Amino acid sequence: MSQLIEEEDKLEKVAFILKTIGHPVRLKILSLLSEFQQMSVNEISEKCEVEQSLISHHLTNMKLKGVLQSEREGKSIYYSIKLMEVLNVIDCMSKCKI
């Protein structure tokens, strides 16, 4: 029975992560952060070629859900991945044949 509960908890966490990251821009942001560890809003916006306001919206949403964390340095805010399990989910998805 304990194994069943653990499996349910795992599925709940995966569903939460998928719901939170289920947008192409968010996946691109996470890909960049996995590569560079920490980036500013401006850096992410430039690399994604997406308006800063839209990037900020996605970053704020993922931060509120605990996927990202931020740190202010002067006038810039730097984002990094907080919920490292998100990288496992992305890795699993990248191996799928579609």
Range of 39's domain? 2-92
pLDDT digits (tens, 9 = 90+) for 21-34: 999 999 999 999 99
Residue with tokens 């998805």: 93
Q: Write down the pLDDT at residue 1.
A: 58
Number of structural domains (the chain) is: 1
What does R_g of the chain's alpha carbons equal in angstroms?
15
9, pLDDT greater than 90: no
Q: How far is CA 74 from the centre of its chain?
A: 24
Expressed in angstroms, the distance from the first to the final Cα of the chain is 34
Q: Give me the percent of the chain exceeding a pLDDT of 90.
A: 68
pTM here?
0.87
Within a domain: residue 57? Answer: yes
Within a domain: residue 37? Answer: yes
User: Which value, to the nearest 10 degrees, does the dihedral of the CA atoms of residues 57, 41, 24, 28 take?
Assistant: -160
The CATH number given to whatever domain includes residue 80 is 1.10.10.10
pLDDT digits (tens, 9 = 90+) for 80-94: 999 999 998 888 888
Query: To the nearest whole number, what is the mean pLDDT of the chain?
Result: 92
Contact 83, 66 (CB under 8 A): yes
